[in-house]
Amino acid sequence: MLRIALDAMGGDAAPRETVQGAVLAVQDAELRRIAGGPFQVVLVGRREEIERELPHDASFPLDLLPIVDAREVVTMEDHPVQACKKKKDSSIVRCHELLKNKEVAACVSAGNSGATLAAALFTCGRLEGVSRPAIVTMVPSVQGVSVLVDAGANMDCRGKHLLQFALMGEAYARTALSFKSPRVGLLSIGEEESKGNDLVFEAQAFLKQVPFNYIGNVEGRDIVNGKCDVIVCDGFTGNVALKSIEGVGELVFTLLKKELSANLFSMLGGFLSASAFRRFKKMIDYREYGGAPLLGIDGISLISHGKSNAYAMKNAVRAVLRCVQYDLNASIQKAILEHGQVQDAKPGPTDL
Amino acid sequence: MLRIALDAMGGDAAPRETVQGAVLAVQDAELRRIAGGPFQVVLVGRREEIERELPHDASFPLDLLPIVDAREVVTMEDHPVQACKKKKDSSIVRCHELLKNKEVAACVSAGNSGATLAAALFTCGRLEGVSRPAIVTMVPSVQGVSVLVDAGANMDCRGKHLLQFALMGEAYARTALSFKSPRVGLLSIGEEESKGNDLVFEAQAFLKQVPFNYIGNVEGRDIVNGKCDVIVCDGFTGNVALKSIEGVGELVFTLLKKELSANLFSMLGGFLSASAFRRFKKMIDYREYGGAPLLGIDGISLISHGKSNAYAMKNAVRAVLRCVQYDLNASIQKAILEHGQVQDAKPGPTDL
């Protein structure tokens, strides 16, 4: 039976929402279809705290939610690397040990995202030929969704890293998200090849030689306007862009709410269009997407939003099930070995 | 009498909207108050095309809109630097010659923004001690407006450049926008000092020593959430963030429109709340802000959006009038000479 590990102690509302998410996940018809039948979610964390949140209904199939006891918890304040080294009995580290030992097919954590990255890297290691694992994030767009890689794992990058991010992001969109021939764009300040910074110019040369649907430079607006499926950038730029997008989403609701309560007409209007707003809000809600998988790790590990509720956790399990069932890592491995082994023309300060 | 030069040929709807903008500007009571009385807008471009757009009403004070003939036009396709060198009789170059010769106090162009930057740099030169002029842009935020510098003039930067951007942006917010003790933040991927890329770490050391209201690292969401007044970053990151923000603004309207037309209730709701939407749209409309001044140039030069209409052009004139009247460049000059003369610890590939 397919097994997924869930860091029951990770996230602002853990273990309540994490356990509830697992309860939803193992009963969900769509998720069972993806998994090819019933599957287990292994709850990793303090046994007594997890048990308190489990359903007491005798008809619930508790065998689908086994517990692996882990006494320590990595907090949001912990230093990622030190926490992984010192808190060996933490839920984050234990999840990745299960993954490394093939006791689970994938794992999910909504805890300290730096620590999740560090645990994945130190415990599971990288796929062959991958120089830097990256975080891929889904972003709502006019046509549904686009993916951005790297969303924040790697600050100072070289062209060869961006090439690998592109290969991994393309494989992710093609397998786990079932995009046909995803369009891959390099994030820059204009569509013209002459526009960009040194990193963009370095990456362009590599990307042109890869046999996927590379559409050249794209701009910030193209992250959400449907022009592109996979947006490639360094983790600093990606993180700034994503948080800017989130910030505008929040601003829009604040301003609209204020304007809609300005007078009786607009209040009535807001009331009548409430369901439209709800649908709109759902479209731009990160909880729908479940989280951000790590690409390039020897194993499927996904970082969930710290504010994830049970619904978001269920969607996170769905996301890793898809990665497992569509064999994401085999696609990444193939792409990296065939097209990802290049050297930048000159070594730089951030060269590995 | 105060004189402002306007590139009448610049922008998608020039010379119609540029001339109409000048007509609105010279008659506007608020602008006259800022200017301390009537002022002139010098229309630079092809005389006959400009004259065609001028009011034929005998009561209109045409003496407030003198024309300076310039036969060439820099197009959006022109290479910025080459265009400035070859098209000496272009409206963009002529505007900046008027500025250099003190025949006007400031100039505005909605044409090729790279060419405007090049013309400003080559014709007017930099203020003493400024290593790289930068573009400052206003962004709508929860509390009204924040400014971001650099919005796209400088791709690969060093810490010392970011220090100068911060000094110039702070001076702009304090003088032209009348912010009291503006809060200056360094754009990064987290608030903690330990988060960022090499450039951020390099800039942090300089920014801590400057006697303005430096609040440390800020994130992408802080560009719009009112936490910060002046956001400092390199031009690549700034441009990506701004275009991401614009993209989400467009996405929001597309999705909301779609959702509001989904059924009769929501359509009626949308109709009743139409004025709320209009007010909201106005808040996030770049036309309200007029454009992006160049900071660090020996003269006041402002880049307007290529899609500017007459209203936006009028607001652009207002923006430069404020820069002139509040003596922006004196403030920048003082800040740069007192606090902007530093050297990065080690030279880098992007060092000047």
A295-347: pLDDT as tens digits: 999 999 999 988 889 999 999 999 999 999 999 999 999 999 999 998 887 76
Region B260-275 average pLDDT:
68
Task: Say if the Cβ atoms of B240 and A242 lie within 8 Å.
Answer: no
Which of A:78-117 have CB within 8 Å of B? none
pLDDT at A285: 66
Q: How far is CA B218 from the centre of its chain?
A: 22
Choice among A234-243, B198-207, B277-286 with the minimum mean pLDDT: B277-286
Question: From B226, which residue of chain A is nearest by alpha-carbon distance?
Answer: A251
pLDDT at A86: 94
Best A157, A161, A189 residue to mutate vs chain B (most B CBs within 10 Å): A189
pLDDT tier for residue B227 given thresholds of 50, 70 and 90: very high
pLDDT at B265: 66
Task: Say if the Cβ atoms of A198 and B242 lie within 8 Å.
Answer: no
Q: Is the pLDDT of residue B260 over 90?
A: no
Q: Is the pLDDT of residue A258 over 90?
A: no
Region A111-140 average pLDDT:
94
- Contacts A276 to B, Cβ<8 Å: 256, 259-260, 262, 266, 269-270
Task: Say if the Cβ atoms of A254 and B220 lie within 8 Å.
Answer: no
- Contacts A251 to B, Cβ<8 Å: 140-142, 224-225
pLDDT at A31: 97
Mean of per-residue pLDDT scores for chain A: 91
- Contacts B224 to A, Cβ<8 Å: 244, 247-248, 250-251
Q: Is the pLDDT of residue A269 over 70?
A: no
Interface contact A228, partner B, CB < 8 A: no
> What is the longest distance spanned by two Cα atoms in chain B?
66
Residue B304 to residue B296: CA distance in whole angstroms? 17
Provide, rounded to the nearest whole percent, the portion of chain B with pLDDT above 90: 75
- What does the DSSP 8-state code read for residue B62? G
The alpha carbon of residue B316 is apart from the nearest alpha carbon of chain A, in Å, by 23
Q: Is the pLDDT of residue A289 over 80?
A: no
Q: Which of B244, B255, B284 sits opposite A220 (nearest CB)?
A: B244
pLDDT at B248: 84
How would you class A45 by CB atoms within 10 Å of its CB: exposed for 0-12, middle for 13-18, buried for 19 or more? Answer: buried
Residue B113 to residue B104: CA distance in whole angstroms? 20
Interface contact B288, partner A, CB < 8 A: no
Strand-by-strand arrangement of the A184-187 sheet: A67-69, A40-45, A3-7, A106-109, A300-303, A292-295, A134-141, A144-149, A230-232, A184-187, A214-218
Q: ipTM of this predicted complex?
A: 0.90
Q: Is the pLDDT of residue A271 over 70?
A: no
pLDDT tier for residue B352 given thresholds of 50, 70 and 90: very low
* Backbone CA torsion sign across B169, B171, B177, B183: positive
pLDDT at A144: 82
Q: Which of B155, B242, B272 sits opposite A220 (nearest CB)?
A: B242
- State the Cα angle at B280 between B21 and B320, rounded to 5°: 30
Region A35-57 average pLDDT:
96
Region A180-185 average pLDDT:
96
Q: How is residue A120 written in tokens?
A: 């994945």
pLDDT at B281: 67
Mean of per-residue pLDDT scores for chain B: 91
Q: Which of B156, B243, B271 sits opposite A221 (nearest CB)?
A: B243
Interface contact B142, partner A, CB < 8 A: yes
Q: Is the pLDDT of residue A350 over 70?
A: no
Region A73-89 average pLDDT:
91
- Contacts B254 to A, Cβ<8 Å: 142
Best B272, B277, B344 residue to mutate vs chain A (most A CBs within 10 Å): B272
Which residue bears the tokens 């882990």? Answer: A70
- Partnered with residue B297 across adjacent β-strands are B126
CA torsion A65→A71→A72→A75, rounded to 10°? 50
Under 8 Å between Cβ of A186 and A216: yes
Residue A347, number of CB atoms within 10 A of its CB: 10
Which residue bears the tokens 């003496």? Answer: B63
